[in-house]
Amino acid sequence: MPHTSRLHVPRPPSRPGEAPDFGYVRLSPAGAVARPDVAASAADMESLSVDLIRVLDDEHRAQGPWNPRLDVAELQVGLRYMLLTRVYDDRMLKTQRQGKISFYMKSTGEEAVAVAGTMALRPTDMLFPSYRQQGAYLVRGSALVDLMCQLLSNTRDMCKGRQLPVMYHSVPGRVFSISGNLATQFPQSVGWAMAAAIKGSDDLASSWIGEGSSAEADFHHALLFASVYRAPVILNVVNNQWAISTFQGYAGGEQRSFAARGPGYGIPGLRVDGNDFLAVYAATAWAAERARRGAGSTLLELVTYRAAAHSSSDDPSRYRPRDDADRWPLGDPVERLKQHLIALGEWSEERHQALAAELDARVAAAWKEATTYGTQTDGPRLDPDLMFEDVFKELPQHLKEQRDDMHRGRG
Amino acid sequence: MPHTSRLHVPRPPSRPGEAPDFGYVRLSPAGAVARPDVAASAADMESLSVDLIRVLDDEHRAQGPWNPRLDVAELQVGLRYMLLTRVYDDRMLKTQRQGKISFYMKSTGEEAVAVAGTMALRPTDMLFPSYRQQGAYLVRGSALVDLMCQLLSNTRDMCKGRQLPVMYHSVPGRVFSISGNLATQFPQSVGWAMAAAIKGSDDLASSWIGEGSSAEADFHHALLFASVYRAPVILNVVNNQWAISTFQGYAGGEQRSFAARGPGYGIPGLRVDGNDFLAVYAATAWAAERARRGAGSTLLELVTYRAAAHSSSDDPSRYRPRDDADRWPLGDPVERLKQHLIALGEWSEERHQALAAELDARVAAAWKEATTYGTQTDGPRLDPDLMFEDVFKELPQHLKEQRDDMHRGRG
Amino acid sequence: MAQMNMIQALNAAMDITMTRDPSVVVLGEDVGYFGGVFRVTDGLQRKYGVHRVLDTPIAEGGIIAASIGMAVNGLRPVAEIQFADYIYPGYDQIVSELARLRYRSAGAFSAPVTIRTPCGGGIRGGQTHSQSPEALFAHVCGIKVVMPSNPYDAKGLLIASIEDDDPVLFLEPKRLYNGPFDGDPNKPAVPWSTHPKGEVPDGHYHVPLGKAEVIREGNALTIIAYGTMVHVAEAAARSLSLDAEIIDVRSIVPLDVETLCRSVAKTGRCVIAHEATRFSGFGAELTATIQERCFWQLEAPIQRVCGYDTPYPHAFEWEYFPGTQRVARALAAVMEAR
Amino acid sequence: MAQMNMIQALNAAMDITMTRDPSVVVLGEDVGYFGGVFRVTDGLQRKYGVHRVLDTPIAEGGIIAASIGMAVNGLRPVAEIQFADYIYPGYDQIVSELARLRYRSAGAFSAPVTIRTPCGGGIRGGQTHSQSPEALFAHVCGIKVVMPSNPYDAKGLLIASIEDDDPVLFLEPKRLYNGPFDGDPNKPAVPWSTHPKGEVPDGHYHVPLGKAEVIREGNALTIIAYGTMVHVAEAAARSLSLDAEIIDVRSIVPLDVETLCRSVAKTGRCVIAHEATRFSGFGAELTATIQERCFWQLEAPIQRVCGYDTPYPHAFEWEYFPGTQRVARALAAVMEAR
Ligand SMILES: Cc1ncc(C[n+]2csc(CCOP(=O)(O)OP(=O)(O)O)c2C)c(N)n1
Ligand SMILES: Cc1ncc(C[n+]2csc(CCOP(=O)(O)OP(=O)(O)O)c2C)c(N)n1
Ligand SMILES: [Mg+2]
Ligand SMILES: [Mg+2]
């Protein structure tokens, strides 16, 4: 039967043992892509979904109309958050390996997506991240200790022990709750933005999903509702090429870019170098201006690479070449912003090492503090009665009875 | 609150009491749109989703590269099926009004969509219609009596009394079962086509939904799976401008055409004059050739107008001008093919009248026969035991017991 | 007090909450300009504008998702799903998101969304316009589930639902929109104006969530029902001249176990009736709970009268529908058992 | 005979049916090249090719819909949903389409699709990797629902499911993939090789759908369970040295009422245990049916031991999980009642 089959089956460019091949990634030179007015029609901006918006060139200089012309101070803040994200990720994976937390997911190689994508917004804008935007919480001021307490499900866990590690939220930081269900928050962010528009407020929503998750129905719901009501929302698809073991071709990336879905719905779709802090910042700022001007939503595809494993349960060497990440043509976002600052004369290897050491110490200190509020094995523990709360606003009779049952002895 | 709202809310061009206004429908002259090779890339065919493929011009002549150059005999067969559809619809609505059937849905004004869309395929291709493609069953040889028995839920009902009127199917005609759930069959047709490809067969699937239904998640599933596996399937969106009381703008039609969704998924999207028998035929044949050549699927938007009420339960004068259908710029599909044949010297008003009379008599005779197999009030009735069958292939114990319970007395 | 049918009562509930609270918005397919296919939202868009009464795309999943987002941003959406049979494309957003948001965020976020949807049979609607899916939501923690049986309760429960801070699935037995229905399609239609519960106060009031109502006191046995089946139960008890106690559950989640068990403990006999299919239906939960708590008072097995375990069959509606006689048969059996 | 864990047994079932019947195809997220996140489909793509073992987009609704279409065109798809918690985006296609196709078309069309999905808790998976949604499908007419508790049954039931002409939801208690689990996370893990049901024949065989298994005969009371809870039930009965009769339901739909009722009629006492939340869970149906049929033999109220009615809480897994002691408490209560 397979011989005569006409079914097309996508295949990644390389498998374990083969040489990585990123020839399929369509590149544009830095500065080469035009920056239209935010109110231009989606139809007139279709090329943005094919080309790749890049600002930093190979000499680490910022080029072209998308250069957001940020202050040095702002660039340094961006570098700091990206590096903090990386240091945090590295250490937290280690704690998972030591059995101190049950699960972890890194964002290594994708730090610019969340950090620049958040810095380009106002603090009152609402964020709907997925599980790989830890940088957003940092930019929005979540304390490391608070994030770690969530990972530990300890007595200070913001989720009161109810969620897997990395399913953070932040009320003061305006970062929405997430769960393990992919893509569900994408159309919710559109509803949030619709409400902002109904209320006449100036705030917008920004939401992130992986390219694999764009296959879910909720991706369609989000684009459709955003288009029909011209909701002030930024819809980010983080194309890190992989969804666990599944190559982006299986989400439809073989035929067209993910940004290209936007124009079909009348929404501009921008293909952006996701490892270029400046490009991500500029594209986000452009989309934010569009939303605030009442011109509607924007779909951003952030082209990046999942340099690490999918999660602490995953081993990517089973399905892709080991040295893939090193060959990724868009480089590393931390390194690129660092080199840009060095090229500007505003940074150095020494300052970078010092910053890394400082952040590492901060993360270590925070971990130490976090563990005093309890770990999986030691120290104080959340009251199991909390299990029954927040199912409803008031505890109903049947849950009171079940709580009593629990008091009779667990297990 | 509404004063400051920035939410965009689509509005139809005219409401009851206002003059119909179809200025929003983008037209192209007959024959003006190029016909690319079926294997051209979707990206190179994007203009097809903006322009309107038309063959019949205002003088009723066939024009341009999309002219399918059909025999006169074939054109006459097409006219016959379209007229039969119309006569059938008119009479069946009347029987509903007389209380003889519980519910009915007409396809008036859209007859070319199903008739040409079916005639352009092979009899072994599988059809997945929605509820407004009655013409497909006629082309595929379903007997009028059989369709009517379904409407009557009588002893010869192909659905054994289990379905609302118009939810036909045909095994010999290769027309799939439908239900009231919108859009569900769209991705199923893709699965069917994937299986055809896996098996190496030459058959394709063709599926129809309304423009309103394209808002459902299953529209996205269909396009995505069709794109990823290059399934041999034709995905038809029948844009008849309305979804019950809701204007097509609410399905995203305000910003872009429905055909324009295709290219975002790497699928060519063709905007076709749905009231032009020749254009529908040609576009379908083109898409079929594409599928059979292994080039993958095609999205067809058939631009037409729902000239009648949504269903026998609907009164469109509550939400749109009464004379809307008369002002529809693409005219009436039956009239247009009739005039084309007259212009070719192969038809006349007299022959048309005679055909109408013949078909009316056929429909009347079929109705008479159908009612002998039972009506809602008289004659033989399906055995209520059938209610319990086909839930599973074998009748399980609990349904046997419930059948026994029913035997103890109904009501 | 005014005479209202259930459509008018539901409309009044939305009208009142929209007037009192500018954060209440209504959305759904055909609900705006047209006023809904059952006219339940008639006039609301004219009165409150296109930004508070929104026509939507035909995407139930999108409607629920957008409602959640709106609610998180401070609105109180009342979403209509045109038929309960079409709620499943929104099932993931309800089960995985709406019902769990408060829990998973430890109260940081919540979404007070009310989902209204017409349910139930008896209207010749066939398999896709007749379903009663309450059990598919009752099993989901974190969403309340309500079904009124008359205009008075419909208005009071809908106001309470919209004003409740938890999400609520509000099921409307469409066979009751225009009048009570005792299960006999051959009887002439009765309007709500002939029924005491068709008297509906003009203003704001609550029928509290979580409270069943004993609509008829009695000692011989307890009949537990909700929605259309309340009226069928009454007719069945009448037909046998039984001194039945009849309870309208009204609130499926949270369930008023106390009222139910107090009654069964008194009568010792119980029949449960619902339109939904029997297997793993909500009648099972009612039965299980009552037998756990009233075991020693029970004088006969609890009986369920339900829709048969098949899709809703168009042509066999009146064989399928659990009507007066089927309920009466169960009543008789439970009374005889000893 | 070979020693197999449940993963190997399931893999063998697919391997055998794919060899015997070229129309069997496997599809799902990460099932192809990678062999599935639990490795259940490991090696199948290598053996049968990329056209019979398909990686898919992450779209559960699309996976089910495509499977239906494939089945209508003569294939026998075995679709994997990566976790049962993620089945809801496909719920409409299952409920409205897969389960009803044969009925609505009067047998003209049918879709023999098997949906495999890992379910249940005990793996520290939190709210979205621990759910047991069987009741949400048991209430839906037209789809069979199965859950094995050991490798032998897993293989035989999966072969029977794939070869069955009706659609089947095949729930795999992932806590049992590598070994039996009696509910105590502190005990060292036990492999299937230590368990008699880890002996699995190499070839083709069926464990029939619709048949429960009495896994331990006894006279004191009946314990009804399925999946992981079968092992917990055994441990609980052992801990009290009770002469319990333990029944593994295996097939939730259709349900083997006869085997269940024969046992309860004999013992007069019954405890039902499942991981799923209690309210309107499948235990309710079991309770309701048994009390209807065995009322006069019952010497105590039937008790349910279930997951509490909250989402599955990550940090309180072992308070939440209905373990040995909770089951033992119910056993003791049922034995004491008189
Ligand atoms: C509805 C749903 N289906 C399946 C999964 C299992 N799953 C978790 S992450 C993942 C891959 C997601 O890939 P992508 O969206 O590309 O995000 P990335 O991990 O690359 O950041 C899958 C399939 C899930 N969590 N939710
Ligand atoms: C899932 C689902 N949601 C809602 C409905 C109710 N409904 C029936 S037809 C219809 C309008 C469909 O419009 P369109 O797709 O444009 O098709 P048309 O009727 O114009 O042919 C609606 C909303 C349904 N049948 N199924
Ligand atoms: Mg990814
Ligand atoms: Mg339409």
According to the CATH classification, is domain D213-336 in 3.40.50.1000? no
Compute the count of residue pairs across chains B and D with CB atoms less than 8 Å apart: 138
Question: pLDDT value at position C275?
Answer: 98
Most B CBs within 10 Å: which of D18, D55, D105, as the mutation test of the B interface? D105
Ligand number nearest CA of C86 is 2
Residues of C in contact with D132 (CB under 8 A): none
Question: pLDDT value at position D252?
Answer: 98
Contact state of A245 with D30 under an 8 Å Cβ cutoff? yes
CA B182 to the chain's CA centroid = 13
Contact state of A296 with B200 under an 8 Å Cβ cutoff? no
Rounded to the nearest 10°, the torsion over CA B24, B30, B32, B38 is 100
CB within 8 Å of B152: residues ≥ 6 apart = B100, B101, B370, B371, B373, B374, B375, B376
List every span in chain D annotated with CATH 3.40.50.970. 2-200
| Nearest C-alpha neighbor of D110 from the set B171, B150, B387 | B171
Residue C199, beta-bridge partner list: C3
The domain at A42-380 falls in which architecture?
A: 3-Layer(aba) Sandwich (3.40)
CB within 8 Å of D275: residues ≥ 6 apart = D120, D121, D132, D173, D227, D228, D229, D306, D307, D321, D322
Residue of chain B minimizing CA distance to D59: B221
* Chain segment C120-157, per-residue pLDDT in tens: 999 999 999 999 999 999 999 999 999 999 999 999 99
A338 lines ligand 1 (CB under 6 A): no
Which of the other chains make 3 or more beta carbon contacts under 8 angstroms with chain B? A, C, D
The DSSP line for A176-187 is ----SSTTTHHH
The D residues from 185 to 214 touching C (CB cutoff 8 Å) are none
List every span in chain D annotated with CATH 3.40.50.920. 213-336
CB within 8 Å of D59: residues ≥ 6 apart = A215, A216, A217, B220, B221, B224, B225, D89
Q: Ligand 3 centre from A316 Cα, in Å?
A: 13
Question: pLDDT value at position A3?
Answer: 45
Rounded mean pLDDT, A384-391: 98
Question: pLDDT value at position C1?
Answer: 82
Separation of alpha carbons D112 and B8, rounded Å = 45
Contact state of C166 with A218 under an 8 Å Cβ cutoff? no
Q: Which of D51, D129, D204, D274 is catalytic?
A: D129
Q: Is there a cis peptide before residue C254, judged by omega within 30 degrees of 0?
A: yes
Q: Ligand 3 centre from A333 Cα, in Å?
A: 17
What percentage of chain A carries pLDDT values higher than 90? 95
- Say if strands B246-247 and B242-243 run parallel, antiparallel, or are unpaired: antiparallel
* Chain segment D210-231, per-residue pLDDT in tens: 999 999 999 999 999 999 999 9
Residues of C in contact with D100 (CB under 8 A): 127, 311
Q: Which residues line ligand 2 (CB under 6 A)?
A: B 132, 180-182, 209-213, 238, 240, 242-244, 306, 310; C 29, 58, 82, 86, 89
Separation of alpha carbons B115 and D168, rounded Å = 37
Contact state of D69 with B163 under an 8 Å Cβ cutoff? no
Question: pLDDT value at position B43?
Answer: 78
Question: pLDDT value at position C268?
Answer: 98
Rounded mean pLDDT, A149-160: 98
A180 lines ligand 1 (CB under 6 A): yes
Separation of alpha carbons C315 and B376, rounded Å = 8
Question: pLDDT value at position B376?
Answer: 84
CB atoms inside a 10 Å sphere around CB A26:
11
| pLDDT of A1 over the 80 cut | no
| Nearest C-alpha neighbor of C110 from the set A198, A153, A171 | A171
Separation of alpha carbons B55 and C146, rounded Å = 56
Residue A3, beta-bridge partner list: none
Question: pLDDT value at position A335?
Answer: 98
Rounded mean pLDDT, C199-221: 98
Contact state of A7 with B230 under an 8 Å Cβ cutoff? yes
Ligand number nearest CA of B184 is 2
What percentage of chain C carries pLDDT values higher than 70? 100
Contact state of B184 with D254 under an 8 Å Cβ cutoff? no
* Chain segment A219-274, per-residue pLDDT in tens: 999 999 999 999 999 999 999 999 999 999 999 999 899 999 999 999 999 999 99
Contact state of C301 with D285 under an 8 Å Cβ cutoff? no
For chain B, the first-to-last Cα distance in angstroms comes to 52
The pLDDT mean for chain B works out to: 96
Q: Where are the domains of chain B?
A: 42-380, 384-411
| Nearest C-alpha neighbor of A2 from the set B296, B192, B229, B199 | B199
Asked if the ipTM is above 0.85, the reply is: yes
What confidence category does residue B377 fall into, taking pLDDT thresholds of 50, 70 and 90? confident
* Chain segment C291-309, per-residue pLDDT in tens: 999 999 999 999 999 999 9
Separation of alpha carbons A53 and C279, rounded Å = 57
| pLDDT of A410 over the 90 cut | no
CA distances from C12 to C44, C205, C226 (A): 10, 11, 22
Structure-token pair, residue C175: 């066979």
Question: pLDDT value at position D338?
Answer: 80
- Minimal Cβ distance to B9: which of C48, C51, C126: C51
User: Are the C-beta atoms of residues A262 and A298 closer than 8 Å to each other?
Assistant: yes
CATH topology (fold) of D2-200: Rossmann fold (3.40.50)
Separation of alpha carbons D142 and D154, rounded Å = 22
A242 lines ligand 1 (CB under 6 A): yes
* Chain segment D246-305, per-residue pLDDT in tens: 999 999 999 999 999 999 999 999 999 999 999 999 999 999 999 999 999 999 999 999
Is C51 an active-site residue?
A: no
| Nearest C-alpha neighbor of A188 from the set D244, C90, B133, D154 | C90
User: Are the C-beta atoms of residues B306 and B109 closer than 8 Å to each other?
Assistant: yes
* Chain segment A49-77, per-residue pLDDT in tens: 999 999 999 999 999 999 999 999 999 99
* Chain segment B118-146, per-residue pLDDT in tens: 999 999 999 999 999 999 999 999 999 99
Closest ligand 2 atom, residue B183 Cα: 1
Q: Does B161 touch chain A (CB under 8 A)?
A: no
* Chain segment A285-333, per-residue pLDDT in tens: 999 999 999 999 999 999 999 999 999 999 999 999 999 999 999 999 9
**What amino acid is encoded at B134 in this protein?**
Q
Question: pLDDT value at position A255?
Answer: 84
Question: pLDDT value at position B115?
Answer: 98
- Answer yes or no: pTM beyond 0.95: yes
**What amino acid is encoded at B348 in this protein?**
S
* Chain segment B67-80, per-residue pLDDT in tens: 999 999 999 999 99
* Chain segment C61-71, per-residue pLDDT in tens: 999 999 999 99
- Report DSSP state, residue C94: I
- Give the CB-side neighbour count of residue A186, counting CA atoms within 13 A: 31
Rounded mean pLDDT, C259-268: 98
Which of helix, strand or coil describes residue D222? Answer: strand
Q: Work out the angle between the directed axes of helices B111-119 and B333-343 (0-180°, nearest 10).
A: 60
- Give the CB-side neighbour count of residue C257, counting CA atoms within 13 A: 18
- Minimal Cβ distance to D34: which of A180, A319, A388: A319
Closest ligand 2 atom, residue B131 Cα: 21
Separation of alpha carbons C25 and C321, rounded Å = 35
Q: Ligand 1 centre from A273 Cα, in Å?
A: 22
- Pick the residue with more confidence: B220 or A179? B220
Residue with CA nearest ligand 2 atom 6: C82
| pLDDT of B3 over the 80 cut | no
| pLDDT of C79 over the 50 cut | yes
Q: Work out the angle between the directed axes of helices A397-407 and C257-267 (0-180°, nearest 10).
A: 90
* Chain segment B11-41, per-residue pLDDT in tens: 999 999 999 999 999 999 999 999 999 999 8
Rounded mean pLDDT, B185-204: 97
- Report DSSP state, residue D232: H
Ligand number nearest CA of B108 is 2
Residue C140, beta-bridge partner list: none
A106 lines ligand 1 (CB under 6 A): no
- Minimal Cβ distance to D301: which of C89, C138, C292: C292
What confidence category does residue B4 fall into, taking pLDDT thresholds of 50, 70 and 90? low
What confidence category does residue A200 fall into, taking pLDDT thresholds of 50, 70 and 90? very high
The pLDDT mean for chain A works out to: 96
Rounded mean pLDDT, D59-78: 98
The pLDDT mean for chain D works out to: 97
Structure-token pair, residue C330: 């169960």
CB atoms inside a 10 Å sphere around CB C15:
18
Residue ranges with strand state E in B40-153: 126-128
| pLDDT of C228 over the 80 cut | yes
CB within 8 Å of C305: residues ≥ 6 apart = C271, C272, C273, C274, C322, C326, C327, C329, C330
* Chain segment D137-178, per-residue pLDDT in tens: 999 999 999 999 999 999 999 999 999 999 999 999 999 999
- Minimal Cβ distance to C86: which of B163, B181, B382: B181
Q: Work out the angle between the directed axes of helices A277-292 and A333-343 (0-180°, nearest 10).
A: 100
Question: pLDDT value at position A2?
Answer: 41
CB within 8 Å of D265: residues ≥ 6 apart = D293, D294, D297
